[in-house]
Amino acid sequence: MITLDQLNAAPSADFVALLDGTYEHSPWIAERAAAARPFLSLAQLKHALASVVREATRDEQLGLIRAHPELAGKAAIAGELTAESTNEQSRAGLTACTPEEFARLQQLNADYKAKFGWPFILAVRGPRGQGLSRGEIIATFARRLAGHPDFERAECLRHIHRIAEIRLNDKFGIEPVLGNQIWDWAEQLAAHSDPGFKEQGQLTVTYLTEAHRAVADQLARWMREDCGFDEVSIDAVGNVVGLYHGSDPAAPRLLTGSHYDTVRNAGKYDGRLGILVPMLCVRELQRAGRRLPYGLEVVGFAEEEGQRYKATFLGSGALIQRFKPEWLDQQDAQGVSMRQAMQAAGLPGTLAAIQALAREPKHYRGFVEVHIEQGPVLNELDLPLGIVTSINGSVRYVGEVQGMASHAGTTPMDRRRDAAAAVAELILYVEQRAAAVPDVVGTVGMLEVPAGSINVIPGRCKFSLDLRATTNAARDALDADVQAELARICARRGLSYQLTPTENASAAPSDPAWQQRWERVVQGLGLPVFRMPSGAGHDAMKLHEAMPQAMLFLRGLNSGISHNPLESISNDDAELCVRAFQALLEQEEL
Ligand SMILES: [Zn+2]
C-alpha cells in the first residue's frame, strides 16, 4: 500500500517506481507527471497522469496502446502478461471462456487489429470495478469494432486511464464506497420499468405508471430507513420530498434534487444521480450524528421528460406555480386523463392540492442540481466534473417552404421552384452561423418532402428548427439571422414559407455565488475548474424562475451518450460527485 505523502516526498526515480504497473510498460507517464507534485488528492494524481498522455505525441499514445495485451489473446494463454493484466483478465473470467467465446474473441481480436492496427483496449473491471461479464465484453468489442479510427484511438486511451484508475485504487488500498452505493442504488431503481419495455430489458419509467410509483416508494423508503431524513413524503404530483432538519429551524433551506422519470429505453443516471447524491450526503451526516446549520430539502421530481403527457418539467414546475390547470384533462395515448392517472396512483388529482405545493422563495438559499453531462465534452477532456455556467435558452419552430412541384426531366434548371433545395441552403446557413459564435447551437432535426417522388422537383418541404444559446441575447440574435436568411433564400428562389414557433425557453445563467461555491469544491478535490454551458434543459431551469441556482455536471462514459441504455458513469466519478456535494454543504458562508 502506498500513500500520497510517500509519493509527494519521494525522489523522482522512486516516484516512478512506486507507480510501476499503473500504465502498462510505460514509465514515461509517471516520469513526466513527477514535476506536477505535490498532489493533494488521488483524483489530482489521476488527472495529472491522464494529462501527460493527452499532451504526448500521437506516436507515444499509440505506443501506450500497443503496450497492452489482447483480451484472451496468445500472450494471456502463454502466461506472458503483467501481474496486473493477468489479474484483470482472470477476474473478468476471460481465462474461463467456452470454446465458442474463445473463438469469437480471437476473431474480434483479428478483425480489430486489421482495421485499426492496435489491440482492442477495454477496462474489463468495468464502471463499477467488479468486472464485466464475458457477454458484456464481447458486445462492447463488437460495437467498438464499427467505430471510426480517430474515435477508437481516443476511446482506447480513456479505457487505459480507467484501467490505471482502478490499479491506483488497489495500490492505495482505496475503494470508492460512496460511489459504489450510488451505482448500486441506480441499478436497483432500474429494476423497475414500464410493461412492454421491462420484458426487453429496457428502462422506461413514465409518469405515474406502476413502475414509476415503485421507484417513488423505493426512494421514499431509502430516505426514511437508510438515510435518516426527518420528514419524507410524496406530494400531490408524485414528487418524493425528503427533509433533513438543520440545527437552526428558522434558517432558509437549501433545495436540491432532479427527476426520476425517464425517456423510453433510457439510461440509469439521467436525473436519478441528482437525487441519489444528496440522499447519500444526508446518510453520511446522519451516521456522523451531524446537523447542518440549515435544513436540506431533497426532491425526486416525478416528471421532467414529457413522455406520457405533454407537460415537461411538471414536477419542478409545481414548486413554482407553473402547473397548468388544463394539464389535468390532458389524455395519454390510451385516453387516460392526468387527473385519472393521479387518482389511480392515490394522489388527490385536484388543482388546489397541486397549487399548495408552491414554495416560498424567501425560505430557500437556492437550488443546486447535479446531473450527468449528457454530452461528450467532459469525457473527451478526461475531466470528471464540470461547472455549469448557464442552461441554454432555446427557440423551436416547425416550418414549411412552398415552391412548385414539376417534372424533374422537363423543367430547366433556371425555371425551378425547388422547396427542398431552399431548406438545404437554410440548413447549411444554420450550421455556419451557429459555429461562428461560441456556446450557440442550431439544428434542423426533421426534414420531409411530403409526397415526394424521385422524378418530381420538391414542391413542398417541411422542416424543424432548434436554436439554443447560453444567453437570451445570443439566442435572439441567432434567431433573427436565421429568419432573415430564410426570407432571403425564399425571395431569391421565388418561394413562400411559414415558420411556426413551438417552444421558447429563457436561458438560465447560474447564480454567480453558487457557481463559485461549486468551483471552490471542485478545486478542493484537486481538479481543474472547467466551465461549460448546459445544452439540455434541466429542473434547475424551472427553479431558476424562483431562486438562485447552479448545477454541477458529472462525466458520462461512452462519449457521454444519454437517453440510451449505453449511458454510464464510473463508481470513482460518482464518488467524486458525492465528495463535491458534501464539500458544497460545508461551505462556510452557507
Ligand atoms: Zn435529466
Q: What is the pLDDT of residues 173-199, one digit of tens each?
A: 999 999 999 999 999 999 999 999 999
Contacts of 307 (CB under 8 A, 6+ apart): 204, 206, 207, 261, 262, 263, 264
Length of the chain (residues): 590
CB 254 within 8 A of CB 300: no
Residue 340 Cα to ligand 1 midpoint, Å, equals: 26
Helices (H), 357-457: 377-380, 419-435
Residue 335 Cα to ligand 1 midpoint, Å, equals: 26
Sign, CA torsion 82/83/87/88: negative
Contacts of 209 (CB under 8 A, 6+ apart): 194, 308
Residue 281 Cα to ligand 1 midpoint, Å, equals: 20
Contacts of 133 (CB under 8 A, 6+ apart): 93
Amino acid symbol at 582? Q
Residue 271 Cα to ligand 1 midpoint, Å, equals: 4
Residue 563 Cα to ligand 1 midpoint, Å, equals: 9
Residue 303 Cα to ligand 1 midpoint, Å, equals: 10
**How big is the CA angle at 145 (ends 141 and 147), to the nearest 5 degrees?**
125
First to last CA, the chain: 38
Angstrom CA distances, 356 to 59, 359, 405, stand at 63, 8, 56
Indicate if the pLDDT at residue 78 is higher than 80.
no
Residue 317 Cα to ligand 1 midpoint, Å, equals: 14
Reduce the DSSP state of residue 367 to 3 states and report it: strand
What is 279-312 written as a DSSP string? HHHHHHHHHTT---SS-EEEEEES--S-SSSS-T
CB atoms within 10 A of CB 437: 14
Residue 275 Cα to ligand 1 midpoint, Å, equals: 11
Of 496, 281, 247, nearest to 370 by C-alpha is 281
pLDDT in tens, 398-445: 999 999 999 999 999 999 999 999 999 999 999 999 999 988 999 999
Residue 26 Cα to ligand 1 midpoint, Å, equals: 39
Q: What is the CA radius of gyration of the chain?
A: 27
Mean of the pLDDT values across residues 315-336? 95
C-alpha grid cell, residue 220: 421514499
Residue 363 Cα to ligand 1 midpoint, Å, equals: 26
Give me the pLDDT at residue 439, please. Answer: 86
Reduce the DSSP state of residue 564 to 3 states and report it: coil
Residue 103 Cα to ligand 1 midpoint, Å, equals: 41
**How big is the CA angle at 270 (ends 269 and 271), to the nearest 5 degrees?**
105
Residue 302 Cα to ligand 1 midpoint, Å, equals: 12
Residue 345 Cα to ligand 1 midpoint, Å, equals: 23
Task: Find where cell 388529482 sits.
Answer: 349
pLDDT in tens, 346-399: 999 999 999 999 999 999 999 999 999 999 999 999 999 999 999 999 999 999
Residue 373 Cα to ligand 1 midpoint, Å, equals: 9
d(CA 49, CA 33): 6
Residue 270 Cα to ligand 1 midpoint, Å, equals: 5
Give me the pLDDT at residue 97, please. Answer: 84
d(CA 253, CA 246): 8
CB atoms within 10 A of CB 512: 11
Residue/partner pairs of 222-226 with CB below 8 Å, 24 or more apart: 222/185, 222/279, 223/279, 223/282, 223/298, 226/283
Residue 195 Cα to ligand 1 midpoint, Å, equals: 22
Eight-class DSSP state of 201? T
pLDDT in tens, 83-132: 888 888 887 778 788 889 989 999 999 999 999 999 999 999 999 999 99
Q: Mean pLDDT of all residues in the chain? A: 95
